[in-house]
């Protein structure tokens, strides 16, 4: 029996040894993939086997790293108390924003956490820098043009910013604006000379996203040329009615009509000896506010150059930015002029900023009595009523302060109002006529205030938030209408404004009956004027006349008189006068007992 047991045990041991000597195939410990396929075996010897059918990547563990030299608790047997050499090569994603190096992928090297730096691509091909005009010497200034390299993607080109541009003039930094022209897919940077023979240098480099930009530089010489002067005129303010707004005032507002197109024209004069050789129109348009932008055929005459713009209602009406900050479109004309002189090329860049915003562009106003008035933004001259005032009281001059009368005489403290042609029926169309004390709410002014650019805004009889404009503000209004006639009248030819007009008295420039001066652009059509109607942005001056200090009618139907807030003497103050047969505007002082019309300007 014992012999039989020994034989059986020996047989078992032999079988075990033979089995152990057989070839063994090792399989992966973990397989992620199409395990349903029996033929899809893990790769032999792999710890982790991923197949492309997974279409997923590896997600590192997200942790808060508190210290760059410590392992977070739970990662090592030492509970995060110190360096853990055994975890060298550990990869995690840090979510602790307070860490000095910020969030991102970190690798443990056995002693410290090291942030994995992003891969920097590049370099990007250098941007091509050219100039508008020829040669390397320019007059007045120079405009650089940046052209997209063929190898750049649209995303790279869209990522170019002022951070990539360094400009210097005569060795000093030149802070300017980099503008994008959607018409030719190019960027522009303009520099204006301040002295003769200055070097203007434009350098473009830096990074865009994760790509290094190869540096490119352009250097030219710019000289002074003060003979040329240009501007861009055209509608510059739009209000958009909100369909959800229940404010009854909105029913009177001039709502922007974006079914129409709007023209923006160049104005000004070119310097002596120069000829305009090109006019390039461009624009910047956040929110894709511009639908079409169509420059007309180039002309060597400045005023014959214009661009037709159609705004995009789909991106404007209902846009929340209209209510908040408004949208500004900048329309720019770049003018290149050449001569045969030592300074062969002059480049000028002028712009007009168009504001699109709800209830902020100057479109209408009510006075304390509920009278409604159209108003309009006249460029930098501000927001002005385009109708004559009809108020007999306001928040600072209560009812009863003004007297319905027309014979103030030489008592310049009397606050009287009365009706054009002494007829109350004319109030609706022509407004009221006021003594200077009534218009300005000022008495006892004896000094000459003319020329003061810091004269305080005085509300006078104007509505709250508005004031009786000063002599300086009237000059600003006249200049705006003279140099940008297309925005406010049917005239297309701008007039050159001279500083002397702001101090000259009498009719300016002269009493020519036929010349097209800015008085024509200010007057209504029935008075031989070309102004747009009051509800369409024109000043639309009516010939309301005046009342002499004894109540006599003066100039009804042929003259218009307006008070300013600027005193001249104890007995007089400055006014503006227009006449139906003249195209100029009269500036001078009038006795304070005379009664004249009032136009109000919005406070700034």
Query: If residue 105 lies in a helix (H) or strand (E), which one and from where to where?
Result: strand 104-108
Give dist(CA 529, CA 541) in Å, integer.
9
Q: pLDDT over 70 for what percent of the chain?
A: 79
So what's the pLDDT on residue 515?
A: 67
So what's the pLDDT on residue 127?
A: 94
Is 545 in contact with 421 (CB distance < 8 Å)? yes
So what's the pLDDT on residue 242?
A: 47
**Block residue for tokens 């004027």:** 529
pLDDT at 32 over 70: no
So what's the pLDDT on residue 38?
A: 53
Least confident of 484-498, 510-524, 572-586: 510-524
Q: Select the highest-mean-pLDDT range: 20-24, 334-338, 387-391.
A: 387-391
- Residue 273's CB: how many other CB atoms inside 10 A? 13
Give dist(CA 116, CA 193) in Å, integer.
47
Half-sphere exposure of 436 (CA within 13 A, CB side): 32
Q: What is the mean pLDDT of residues 570-576?
A: 95
Q: Mean pLDDT across the chain, nearest whole number? A: 81
Q: What is the mean pLDDT of residues 556-582?
A: 94
Give dist(CA 29, CA 27) in Å, integer.
6
So what's the pLDDT on residue 545?
A: 97
Please report which confidence band the pLDDT of residue 314 belongs to, taking 50, 70 and 90 as the band edges. Answer: confident
Give dist(CA 176, CA 191) in Å, integer.
7
So what's the pLDDT on residue 255?
A: 61
Chain length of the chain: 604
So what's the pLDDT on residue 542?
A: 96
So what's the pLDDT on residue 405?
A: 96
Give dist(CA 272, CA 226) in Å, integer.
10
Q: What is the mean pLDDT of residues 554-583?
A: 94
Phi-psi category of residue 536: left, alpha or beta, with phi > 0 → left and psi -120 to 50 → alpha: alpha
pLDDT tens, residue by residue, 230-242:
888 887 777 765 4
So what's the pLDDT on residue 15?
A: 44
- Residue 34's CB: how many other CB atoms inside 10 A? 12
pLDDT at 26 over 50: no
Question: Mind spelling out the 3-state secondary structure of 377-433?
Answer: ECHHHCEEECCCCCCCCCCCCCCCCCEECCCCCCCCCCCEEECHHHCHHHHHHHCCE
**CA distance to 176, 393, 563, per residue, from 223 (Å):** 18, 57, 45
pLDDT tens, residue by residue, 171-213:
889 988 898 988 889 999 988 776 667 889 999 999 988 889 9
Q: What is the mean pLDDT of residues 156-173?
A: 91
Give dist(CA 417, CA 401) in Å, integer.
11
Query: If residue 138 lies in a helix (H) or strand (E), which one and from where to where?
Result: strand 137-139
Q: What is the mean pLDDT of residues 455-482?
A: 92
pLDDT at 7 over 50: no
Give dist(CA 431, CA 544) in Å, integer.
8
Strands 416-418, 553-554: parallel, antiparallel or unpaired by DSSP? unpaired
Please report which confidence band the pLDDT of residue 224 belongs to, taking 50, 70 and 90 as the band edges. Answer: low
**Between residues 45 and 383, which one has the greater pLDDT?**
383
**Between residues 41 and 317, which one has the greater pLDDT?**
317
Q: Select the highest-mean-pLDDT range: 22-31, 321-330, 408-417, 448-457.
A: 408-417
Partners of 266 in the β-ladder: 232
Q: Burial of 183 by CB count in 10 Å (0-12 exposed, 13-18 middle, 19+ buried)?
A: middle
Q: What is the mean pLDDT of residues 268-275?
A: 77
Give dist(CA 574, CA 596) in Å, integer.
11
DSSP 458: B
So what's the pLDDT on residue 116?
A: 84
So what's the pLDDT on residue 210?
A: 83
pLDDT at 24 over 50: no
pLDDT tens, residue by residue, 395-410:
889 988 999 999 999 9
Is 563 in contact with 573 (CB distance < 8 Å)? yes
Partners of 208 in the β-ladder: 211
SS3 call for 146: strand
In DSSP notation, 549-569 reads TTS-EESTTTEEEEEEEEE-S
pLDDT at 252 over 50: no
- Residue 140's CB: how many other CB atoms inside 10 A? 24
So what's the pLDDT on residue 18?
A: 41
Give dist(CA 204, CA 343) in Å, integer.
26
SS3 call for 508: strand
Query: If residue 223 lies in a helix (H) or strand (E), which one and from where to where?
Result: strand 211-223
- Residue 97's CB: how many other CB atoms inside 10 A? 8
pLDDT at 50 over 50: yes
Give dist(CA 480, CA 380) in Å, integer.
8
């Amino acid at each position: 029996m014992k012999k039989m047991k020994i034989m059986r045990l020996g047989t078992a041991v032999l079988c075990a040894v033979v089995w152990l000597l057989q070839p063994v195939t090792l399989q992966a410990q973990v397989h992620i993939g199409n395990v349903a396929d029996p033929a899809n075996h893990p790769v032999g010897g792999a710890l982790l086997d991923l197949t492309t059918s997974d279409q997923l990547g590896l997600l590192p563990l997200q942790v808060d790293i508190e210290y760059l030299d410590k392992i977070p608790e739970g990662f090592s047997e030492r509970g995060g108390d110190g360096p853990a050499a055994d975890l060298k090569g550990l990869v995690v994603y840090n979510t602790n924003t307070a860490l000095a190096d910020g969030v991102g992928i970190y690798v443990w090297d056995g002693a410290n956490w090291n942030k994995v730096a992003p891969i920097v691509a590049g370099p990007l091909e250098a941007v091509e820098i050219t100039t508008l005009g020829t040669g390397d010497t320019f007059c007045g200034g120079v405009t650089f043009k940046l052209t997209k390299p063929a190898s750049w993607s649209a995303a790279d080109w869209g990522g170019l910013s002022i951070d990539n541009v360094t400009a210097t003039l005569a060795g000093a930094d030149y802070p300017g604006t980099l503008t994008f022209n959607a018409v030719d897919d190019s960027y522009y940077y303009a520099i204006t000379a301040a002295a003769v023979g200055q070097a203007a240098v434009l350098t473009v480099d830096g990074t865009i996203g994760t790509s290094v930009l190869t540096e490119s530089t352009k250097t030219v010489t710019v000289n002074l040329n003060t003979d040329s002067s240009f501007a861009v005129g055209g509608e510059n303010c739009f209000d958009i009615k909100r369909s959800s707004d229940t404010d009854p005032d909105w029913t009177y507002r001039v709502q922007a009509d974006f079914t129409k197109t709007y023209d923006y024209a160049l104005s000004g004069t070119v310097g002596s000896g120069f000829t305009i050789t090109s006019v390039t129109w461009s624009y910047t348009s956040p929110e894709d506010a511009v639908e079409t932008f169509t420059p007309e055929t180039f002309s060597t005459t400045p005023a014959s150059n214009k661009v037709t713009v159609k705004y995009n209602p789909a991106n404007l009406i209902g846009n929340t930015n209209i209510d908040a900050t408004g949208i500004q479109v900048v329309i720019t004309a770049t003018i290149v002029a050449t001569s045969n002189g030592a300074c062969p090329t002059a480049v000028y860049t002028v712009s007009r900023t168009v504001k699109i915003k709800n209830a902020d562009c100057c479109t209408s106003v009510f006075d304390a009595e509920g009278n409604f008035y159209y108003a309009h933004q006249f460029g930098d001259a501000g927001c002005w009523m385009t109708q004559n005032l009809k108020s007999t009281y306001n928040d600072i001059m209560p009812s009863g302060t003004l007297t319905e009368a027309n014979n103030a005489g030489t008592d310049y403290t009397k606050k009287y109002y009365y009706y054009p042609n002494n007829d109350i029926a004319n109030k609706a169309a022509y407004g009221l006529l006021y003594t200077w004390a009534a218009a300005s709410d000022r008495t006892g002014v004896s000094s000459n205030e003319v020329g003061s650019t810091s004269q305080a805004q005085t509300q006078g009889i104007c509505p709250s938030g508005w004031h009786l404009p000063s002599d300086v503000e009237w000059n600003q209004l006249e200049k705006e209408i003279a140099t940008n006639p297309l925005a406010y009248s049917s005239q297309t030819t701008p007039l050159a404004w001279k500083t002397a007009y702001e101090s000259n008295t009498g009719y300016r420039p002269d009493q020519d009956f036929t010349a097209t001066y800015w008085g024509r652009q200010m007057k209504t059509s029935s008075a031989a004027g070309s102004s747009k109607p009051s509800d369409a942005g024109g000043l639309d001056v009516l010939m309301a006349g005046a009342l002499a200090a004894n109540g006599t009618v003066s100039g009804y139907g042929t003259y218009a008189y307006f008070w300013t807030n600027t005193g001249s003497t104890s007995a007089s103050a400055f006014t503006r006068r227009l006449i139906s047969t003249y195209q100029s505007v009269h500036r001078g002082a009038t006795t304070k007992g005379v009664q004249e019309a009032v136009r109000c300007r919005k406070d700034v």
